[in-house]
A and B are shown apart, each in its own frame.
Chain A
Amino acid sequence: MKKVFLLFAGIFLLGLSLKAAETPDNIYFRSMKDEMYRSLSQLYVKGSPKPYYLAYKLMHTSFYCAEATLGELQSGKEDVQHSLEALVVLAAGNPQNDSMGFVTDQFDYEPENLPVVPDSYWGIRHALWKLTDTSYIKATHAYEKKQAYKRQKNIPQNIPDFIPAPQASFLEEIKPFPYAVAAELDELAKKLSARGKDIPYLEDFSVRLCLSQTDHYFLNSNGGMYQFSMPNSGGGIFALLRNKEGYQQILSHPFDFPFNQQPNQPDLLRQTEMILQEAEQLFSAVKPEPYLGPVLLTPSAASDFIRELLISNLTNIKPLLRESADEDFSAGAFRNKTGMRIMSNVVDVYDRPRQRQYKGFPLAGFQPVDDEGVSAEELTVVSSGKLHQLPLSRRPVEPKQASNGHARMTINMLPREALSNVFVQPKKPLSEQELEAKLLERCRELELEYCYILKQFPSLGETVNVAQKIYTKDGRKESVFGIKIDERTTRSLRDILAAGQDEKVFSAYDYDGRTYAIITPSLLVDEIEILPDDKKADRAPFIPKP
């Protein structure tokens, strides 16, 4: 008991001993530090547990979007927009037994947040004060209910709720927003969207380009902190067409800007031409028949495949206790599978949260210090097909477990374990021709008339239109639309037969809103079931396009 008390006191005192010299001298850190000090020293309701841990996160986002259709600007915002958002994490009780990790029927497991905070010292403090107060009231509710729940379910207290960890800081100058680039986006959007202007079967062709930068500021009461800027600019190209069979179809192609925020005009033109080609193929594409067999996933489809089957099963490693449920369905399915074979040994998987860019593109999961103030470590997630390392936080699942700096939070989720920049690295990468040859070879072995190449991997209940059949006999390709994949299982990860050498960077979100970068090449999967979607042909327009 004595040990627990000392630990508690130590952390608490550390919280109160934050010095001005340790934090950057700006309104964000001054307001966070001052309100944190006041809250930890004064915030207390008699008869309730005191707050012992507090973390503040501020995100200042600047963005400008240009949107054009068929060569003309759509209505849009005139100026660069700025917004400041605040998030608060508060734990009440003590590290051995606190208010976190428990979901009451009344409140979701999310940080208190305010999406619109005034950009002034008192404005930020005022926002943090309100959020801290609400967090505390909720924490006291959660604490009492959690104790009652644990007594009722006979849950022993043999693992502390929150363990100490060396606190890290990552501080760098905030980069100015590239206003000059924003001024160029309108013309570029017009230029790119004009490429679809004279194509008769396109009912719309639009381009959206967004320049965006988020400046992150974090401080916790243990002394962990970070300050950095991340670009998250990019956009999408969208084509709307009605194909020969009368189905109205939408093609969308998202892309990211390079790390330097300078849109690569020739590359965007190339991507625009590519989606126009896909639109042309889609115009005369056919509906698929039910299919079960090998599928080659291009990097774009592979990133969705990896996100859905691997990354989502490696989030939220420590299950939450829930007031009215025995199971936490938000906890990743692979959390208990360390050392087990979860994937084919054709690829290894690494998580590199400290890596900021790859081949000139920003990595959206960059987070050098996690949202519990711990330095983020690189992880070997999958090696030789076996699950090697899990992302871990300061909320241990087992005794003596240490954090590896992977607690990540969003407005929808308090800090929980998650990957960040996920690299899928083939051991023997194949060229595009070699991959296709291997796909055909496998098709012949299975005596299939054709196999599939998917350029997008549909989410559950969704349809994709960018796919091709490739015929076994002569390698001929035929475009297919209206594909859905109802049955998806983690078994598919073990069915990866080969991987390409064409890796690309993709930004993705998980169900809790965390951002990831997925760096993956094409993947050849031995068995996926493809079905035609149930959509009926659309009615023809009453009058032709003007």
Chain B
Amino acid sequence: MKQLFSILIFFFAATVSFSQENCDISTQIPIQLLEKELKRGFKVFKKQKPPIYYLSYTYTDEQTFDLQVTQGGVSWEQAAQQRFLKVTARAGSPEMDNTRSLKSDNDNFFLKTASVPDPAAGAKAFQTAVWRLTQETAQHAQEDFSRVQVDSLTSSKRSDDSDDFVFPDKSLYCRESEPVLLNTDRLKKILLAASEQVYGHPTILNSSFSLSIRQGSRYFVDSRGSRLKTPFAYARIGYELMGKTADGLIISRSGAYDVLKESELPSEEKFLADLKKSITELEMLSKAPEAEPITAPAILKNRAMAVFVHEVLGHRVEGHRQKDDSFGKTFTDKLGKQVLSPILSIIDDATLPYFNGVPLRGFYEYDDEGVKARPVTLVENGILKNFLMSSSPIKNFPKSNGHGRSSKNYRPVARMGNTRVVASETVSYEQLEKMLLEEIKRQNKPYGFIIEDLSGGFTQTGTYAPQAFKLQPTLVYRMYPDGRKEVVRGADMVGTPLISFNKVLAAADDDAVFNGTCGAESGWVPVSAIAPSVLLESLEIEKTEKSFLKPPVLPPPSNLEKGAKK
């Protein structure tokens, strides 16, 4: 309990420092122009048949920098300024509108986004672009609503007849942030030098070193009176190494560092040392024995556990999946029931900007529907308490809890932000390994596993397929009863959600962050997951798919001819 308390204190402190208004929303030019256009149009739109009963604008002003380096050369470098507008128009009524999932057809989550001129440079061109996109979006909303009406007449009864929309509370908020200022020239030199470290390592068939910065402000205006300006920033430096074994198995290692300030960057020495470690691991993988299908006890290391929770539980507690009959609804009727090991709690808190000095990509202050972000306890001591909610209500959850998210060409649905696994009882990681050894012996298994790292994976939530998951570890050790560790390759983790989580026996005190980008029906959104390492009573391993093509016949040129004239 003490540990949980200290976590909450940290959440609070971090949120306060990042959530102070420092500008006047009424003086923001994009807000003024969007408000003007919204007022001009909305009074006409709401009298149409069917009426456009809700309208919102999201204008994003974004600066991007992308650098990709390979083999001592720059493959791609681009700095860009992007300004785009997304219009949300809801036709019909909150009880039934154009966004309802169709039973008789595929859903369309696409929402056209348009590039727009700088509103500060000239009002007329900007307003004309807003007007054009509004017309188009409103007409599409009306057409979609007609389809929903037909579908509701001809399709079977919905198991959850909740409304399609709940109006978000009116919010006014304005914050500007210091720009992310990284010395890109210096970083380019570091990446160019690092990219030459792969020379002389024939295992590495492909390598890529990258720097990506995205930052800017998002302006939100809606017909309920919300006016918001919120900043966003993501910066990442990293590398990826890829190889292929003689039997066609793709092997890879990668490293990534999310930063928001120059001071958060890894030192050049640390970056190169991590790279060297990754190269060694890739070479170990290339010589490692192939994994065999088996169930055995396993440790999921912290970052691997973070991905595991995101994929296996997180997507299944997204609110819209509980009322759409095309989804498997694994947890819909499990509210108040035990779904995880009682030592685990799970909170999704998008208001958390950092964890242990690492910037969290899942941080935001208001979601993409203008709803204030807040911590949501999804699971408390193993008992399911909540779902992640957008502004699409479900049975017993009539309001959004600030998780309506989307990327630029999609309409929002409930998505994760920063998903945190908290263990009520922890041991040191060394102790966890000892517990693994005991479990291997107790079960009389030939070995157990340590899942060191996961690249990602997928989970099936539709009713058309089994409610299963498949995750792709990139580094797996077998641990033998005598404590010996051996790297294995080609091991995929598979399973079903209800069984897997109940098998958590213990957790360590080594929480770590996995920063990533999550793809689902509302596009790609930045997310974070934080978790400790855990011991699973059993984990099912199956073989990884292989390529039918051999590795290249000749070794990489930089391997053989290092030092030749360039």
Contacts and interface: CB of A to CB of B under 8 A. Distances in A.
Contacts of B40: 543, 546
Enumerate the 4 nearest inter-chain pairs by beta-carbon distance, A residue then B residue, closest first.
A120-B73, A118-B73, A123-B73, A72-B117
A120 B74 CA distance: 7
B557 A129 contact: yes
Nearest to A68: B117
B556 interface: yes
A534 B369 CA distance: 39
Contacts of A45: 553
Contact of A204 (B41, B48, B128, B196): B128
Given A117-B75, A118-B69, A546-B128, A69 B117 contact: yes
Contacts of A78: 79-81
B128 A30 contact: no
Nearest to B41: A543
A402 interface: no
Given A34-B561, A72-B117, A75-B116, 8 more contacts: A69-B129, A74-B115, A81-B78, A118-B70, A124-B73, A130-B206, A203-B132, A204-B132
A38 B559 CA distance: 13
Contact of A118 (B71, B117, B139): B71
A68 B121 CA distance: 12
B364 interface: no
B80 A542 contact: no
B73 A119 contact: yes
Contact of B71 (A44, A70, A122): A122
B131 interface: yes
Given A39-B554, A119-B73, A122-B73, A30 B565 contact: yes
A542 B557 contact: no
Contacts of A546: 37, 40, 124, 127-128, 130-131
A76 B81 contact: yes
A197 B126 CA distance: 12
B116 A122 contact: no
Contacts of B557: 34-35, 38, 122, 125-126, 129
Interface of A: 27, 30, 34-35, 38-39, 42-45, 68-79, 81-84, 116-126, 129-130, 133-134, 136-137, 197, 203-204, 240, 539, 541-543, 545-546
A120 B80 contact: no
Contacts of A197: 124-125
Interface of B: 37, 40-41, 44-45, 48, 68-84, 115-118, 121-122, 124-132, 135, 138-139, 196, 199, 205-206, 549-550, 552-554, 556-558, 561, 564-566
A76 B556 CA distance: 37
Residues of A contacting B: mostly: mixed
A222 B205 CA distance: 29
Contact of B81 (A38, A75, A120): A75
Contacts of A118: 69-75
Contact of A129 (B74, B78, B556): B556
A77 B81 CA distance: 6
Nearest to A193: B125
A472 B436 CA distance: 95
28 contacts: A30-B566, A38-B554, A39-B554, A42-B554, A68-B117, A69-B125, A70-B117, A71-B122, A72-B126, A73-B118, A74-B115, A74-B117, A75-B83, A76-B81, A77-B80, A78-B79, A120-B72, A121-B566, A123-B72, A123-B73, A123-B75, A124-B73, A126-B557, A129-B552, A129-B554, A542-B45, A543-B41, A543-B131
A116 B128 contact: no
A71 B125 contact: yes
B72 A43 contact: no
A122 B562 CA distance: 9
